[in-house]
Amino acid sequence: MLIQAVRRRRGLTQAELARRAGTSQPVISAYEHGRRDPTSETLRKLVEAGGERLRIDAVAPGPDQPLPGDVGEHARRLLEVLTLADAIPARRRAPVMTAPRLISR
């Protein structure tokens, strides 16, 4: 959805974005329709190819999680979260159900 939003804001076609990012139009389509999930680096590359910048903000931890002590600790935690997110397998969409064929006798 983010890729599509960036592309549309910039008035680009899928083919134009693909050319700028060094990939193919079917790959852009697959990302936009949820058939494939880009890595965080690929997402950054696609957003930048669309002329925008990807920014990831971390939400402050809850009361059971102390704040990171320094920038290095903050970066380590963010990397762990992003690695975990990349490891989650993409959910396949259910195939379209078709009605059974009725045959009269």
CATH number for the domain spanning 6: value is: 1.10.260.40
Domain total of the chain: 1
Question: Is 82 within the bounds of a domain?
Answer: no
Domain range spanning residue 43?
Answer: 1-56
85 found inside a domain: no
Query: Within a domain: residue 41?
Result: yes
Q: What is the pLDDT of residue 87?
A: 78
Contacts of 57 (CB under 8 A, 6+ apart): none
- The separation between CA 48 and the C-alpha centre of its own chain, rounded to angstroms, equals 14
Q: Whole-model pTM?
A: 0.56
- Is residue 65 assigned to a domain? no
pLDDT at 97: 65
pLDDT tens digits along 11-64: 999 999 999 999 999 999 999 998 899 998 999 999 999 999 998 877 766 677
The pLDDT-based confidence of 83 (bands split at 50, 70, 90) is confident
